[in-house]
Amino acid sequence: WSLDGLRDFIATGIQSFRDCDATALVAVACLLVLFVWYCYHVGREQPRAYATVNALMQSAEVNGVQNGFVYCHSPECVRCSHHDGLNQKLYHNLQEYAKRYSWSGMGRIHKGIREQGRYLNSRPSIQKPEVFFLPDLPTMPYFSRDAQKHDVELLERNFQTILCEFETLYKAFSNCSLPQGWKMNSTPSGEWFTF
């Protein structure tokens, strides 16, 4: 598309509208209906007030639900445990780092720490973190597929070794005792293990 082509397209549309061309009127009506529909859906999907979301999240956390998922109550679980002073400690460590080096490039991390509660609880986004929300994180793979090709080939070559290690772990878990180094996180609807 060039500007001349766009100008000609707009001029043709205006001339058709002046001539009361039925096709142009139908096209304008369709665009108007789509615009109204879009405005309706965008207006309907506005986030709730901050206090309301906090109240909902607190009531949900009492029932063991966080961000729509049931979570465990294990104090050792990094993913599910709630540490009130964690953001303050993280911010203090960031300040110490900035004293030694620089605040350059730390804007997103600073913003993420400062507004962590709001991001984790109420912000509609593609990211659904349980531990830390990093604002403006792109949703594209960090590595290209070509960079991962070697790793995939390596995993495929070592399939038998990986299978043997899995079978060893599977047998270790089959005797109903937890192997050394593993922790169990459980919820009313299931459990999972972390190492």
- H or E, element range at 95: helix 86-100
Sign of CA dihedral 64, 66, 72, 75: negative
Report the SS3 class of residue 21. coil
Q: How far is CA 89 from CA 110, 113, 174, in A?
A: 13, 10, 40
What is the residue whose two structure tokens read 């730390």?
106
How confident is the prediction along the chain (195 residues), in pLDDT tens digits per residue? 577 787 888 888 777 767 776 776 788 788 888 888 887 777 665 444 443 444 444 444 444 444 444 555 666 565 555 555 666 777 788 888 888 887 777 887 778 777 776 655 555 555 666 667 777 777 676 667 787 888 889 999 999 999 999 888 878 777 767 777 778 777 777 777 777
What is the residue whose two structure tokens read 């300040």?
95
Q: Tell me the C-alpha distance between 5 and 23, whole Å.
A: 20
Report the SS3 class of residue 2. coil
